[in-house]
Amino acid sequence: MQINLCGLEPLDRNATFVGVGERCNVAGSRKFLRLISEKQYEAALEIARRQVQDGALVLDINMDDALLDAKAEMVHFLNLIGSEPDICRVPLMIDSSDWNVIRAALRCVQGKSIVNSISLKEGEELFLEHAREIRRMGAATVVMAFDEEGQATSYERRVQICARSYDLLVNHVGMPPEDVIFDPNVLSVATGMPEHDAYAYDFLHTVEWIHVNLPKAHISGGISNLSFSFRGNNYIREAMHAVFLYEAIRRGMDFAIINPSSKVTYADIPGEHLKIIEDVLLRPSTKASEALIELAMHLSDINASTVVHGGASQQVANEDIDQDAPISERLAMKLQKGIVDGLEKDIDEALAHYPRAIDIIEGPLMDGMNRVGTLFGEGKMFLPQVVKTARTMKHAVSILQPHIEAQRTDMQRSSSGRVLLATVKGDVHDIGKNIVSVVMACNGYDIIDMGVMVSPEDIVKAALLHRPDIIGLSGLITPSLSEMAETVRQLADAGISVPVMIGGATTSALHTALKIAPAYHGPVVWVKDASQNSIIANRLLNPELSPSAVNAIKAEQESLRRSYAPQPLVALDEARKNRPDYFI
Left (φ > 0), alpha (ψ -120 to 50) or beta: where does 508 sit? beta
Q: What whole-number distance in Å separates Cα of residue 239 and Cα of residue 235?
A: 6
User: Which backbone phi and psi does 260 adopt, to 5 degrees?
Assistant: -65, -15
Give the full edge-to-edge strand order of the sheet including 470-474.
Answer: 445-449, 417-423, 470-474, 500-503, 524-526
CA 122 to chain centre: 21
Give the full edge-to-edge strand order of the sheet including 18-21.
Answer: 218-219, 180-183, 140-144, 114-118, 92-95, 58-62, 18-21, 255-258
Helix or strand or coil: residue 452? coil
Crossing angle for the helix pair 530-541 and 383-407, to the nearest 10 degrees: 30
| C-alpha distances in Å from residue 268, one per residue of 189, 277, 397 | 22, 13, 45
Q: What whole-number distance in Å separates Cα of residue 330 and Cα of residue 332?
A: 6
CB 108 within 8 A of CB 24: no
Measured at the CA of 43, the angle between CA 37 and CA 44, to 5 degrees, comes to: 60
DSSP 491-559: HHHTT--S-EEEESTT--HHHIIIIIGGG-SS-EEE--SHHHHHHHHHHHH-TTTHHHHHHHHHHHHHH
DSSP 376-420: HHTTSS-HHHHHHHHHHHHHHHHHHHHHHHHHS-GGG---SEEEE
Burial of 361 per CB tally in 10 Å (0-12, 13-18, 19+): buried
DSSP 336-370: HHT--TTHHHHHHHHHTTSSSHHHHIIIIIHHHHH
Q: What whole-number distance in Å separates Cα of residue 449 and Cα of residue 458?
A: 12
CB 29 within 8 A of CB 60: no
Is-catalytic flag, 437? Answer: no
| Pairs from 72-78 (Cβ < 8 Å, separation ≥ 24) | 73/36, 74/101, 74/104, 74/105, 75/104, 75/105, 75/108, 76/41, 77/24, 77/36, 77/41, 77/44, 78/105, 78/108, 78/109
- For 94, which DSSP code? E
SS3 sequence of 460-490: HHHHHHHCCCEEEEECCCCHHHHHHHHHHHH
Cis before 117 (ω within 30): yes
Which of these is catalytic: 427, 430, 449, 469? Answer: 427
Which of these is catalytic: 241, 273, 429, 511? Answer: 429
Is-catalytic flag, 480? Answer: yes
Of 187, 226, 81, 126, the residue nearest 430 (C-alpha) = 187
Q: What whole-number distance in Å separates Cα of residue 85 and Cα of residue 90?
A: 9
Is-catalytic flag, 395? Answer: no
Helical (H) or strand (E) element with 254 = none
Q: Which residues are catalytic?
A: 427, 429, 480
